[in-house]
Amino acid sequence: PDLEELVRVRQEFEGLMLRYKFGIDEMMTKINILKEEFAHLHAYTPIEHVESRLKSPESILKKAVRKGATESIDDLAARLHDIAGIRITCSFISDTYRVYEMLAAQHDVSVVEVRDYIKAPKANGYQSLHMIVEVPVFLSATTHLVKVEVQIRTIAMDFWASLEHKIYYKYDGAVPQALLDKLRDAAETASRLDLTMEHLHDDVLALDAENDTFDDPRQER
Ligand code: 0O2
């Protein structure tokens, strides 16, 4: 391609990345509003921690090549759903679904796809609730529906996923079987811990309901 073409493609790509950043900004505002409202209304928030990331151009290109989405920038945007990513960490499994429902219910958020790796964990043990949403971004002259991947998981699932991710990259995908087996075991341990914590939390709520002391938003359902 000639220089003019390169400049044009670069500008188009930068525009695309900016729209994804705005998509993240819109979703982060929504999530932070929910978090703050919970803190204001209740003694308890289902959202522990939120982080966001814009996929790097290098990772976008790698994934685009892997998926064969290299025709055009529009092709890339249509086929890669996780250029804009948000990760929400919750204390309990029930909270992950609660947060999912609160986001899905917003009028300007449309859920494009859901992958429930909590109900059906991946073969390696990975657990998380993924939703791809489309959110409108209003620019000076145009409006864009921007896709954002929201991953919702518990603290235990997040702990497991971040270590697995590091190990995966350290071995460039070729992780020794012994480590894969240990990771699977660790995923089961994390899953058991989640269930134990959920039951414990339910017990505390039940006791508090008897004493009428704890303000539990889940009881409003
Ligand atoms: P990174 O480095 O986080 O950006 P597809 O092949 O398109 O059908 P895709 O796009 O991989 O599926 O979607 P999926 O399965 O919903 O996974 C998207 C993201 O979820 C990944 O992005 C990871 O962030 C996370 N993820 C999925 N599987 C695993 C896993 O086994 N371990 C960990 N640690 N994270 C996982 P990227 O682009 O792969 O990675």
- pLDDT single digits (tens) 47-94: 999 999 999 989 988 888 888 877 777 787 888 899 999 999 999 999
| Cα–Cα distance measured from residue 40 to residue 32, given in angstroms and rounded to the nearest whole number | 12
**Percentage of the residues of the chain whose pLDDT score is greater than 70:** 95
Residue 220: active-site member = no
In the 3-class helix/strand/coil scheme, how is 190-212 assigned residue by residue?
A: HHHHHHHHHHHHHHHHHHHHHHC
Q: What is the pLDDT of residue 213?
A: 59
Spacing, Cα 59 to ligand 1 middle (Å): 12
> Which amino acid, 108?
D
Select from 69, 61, 70, 73 the least CA-distant residue to 12: 73
Ligand 1 surroundings by CB, under 6 angstroms:
55, 59, 63, 82, 115, 122, 124, 126, 130, 161, 164-165
Ligand 1 geometric centre to CA of 151 (Å): 10
ipTM: 0.91
Q: Which two tokens stand for residue 174?
A: 């070729």
Selected residue with higher pLDDT from 189 and 44? 189
The pLDDT of residue 68: 82
**Which strand ranges, in their side-by-side order, compose the sheet holding 143-154?**
49-54, 84-90, 143-154, 129-138, 110-116
* Fold (CATH) for 3-156: Beta Polymerase; domain 2 (3.30.460)
Higher per-residue pLDDT: 209 or 38: 38
Neighbouring-strand partners of residue 110: 134
Q: Which residue is associated with the tokens 């959110």?
A: 135
What does the pLDDT read at residue 221? 45
With beta carbons less than 8 A apart as the criterion, state whether 128 and 161 touch: yes
Quick one: which of 121, 91, 123, 88 has its CA closest to 102? 88
Q: Distances in Å between the alpha carbon of 141 and those of 27, 40, 98, 137, 144?
A: 21, 37, 36, 11, 10
Residues 64 and 69: their CA atoms lie apart, in Å, by 5
Closest C-alpha to 195, from 123, 94, 107: 94
Nearest CA to ligand 1 atom 3: 165
Q: Which candidate, 181, 116, 187, places its Cα nearest to that of 152?
A: 116
> DSSP 3-state assignment of 49?
strand
The ligand 1 atom at the shortest distance from the C-alpha of residue 130 is 16
Q: Which of 165, 166, 180 to mutate to test the pocket of ligand 1 (most atoms within 8 A of CB)?
A: 165
Prediction pTM value? 0.91
What pLDDT, in 10s, does the model give residues 126-170? 999 999 999 999 999 999 999 999 999 999 999 999 999 999 999
Are 205 and 218 a contacting pair, CB within 8 Å? yes
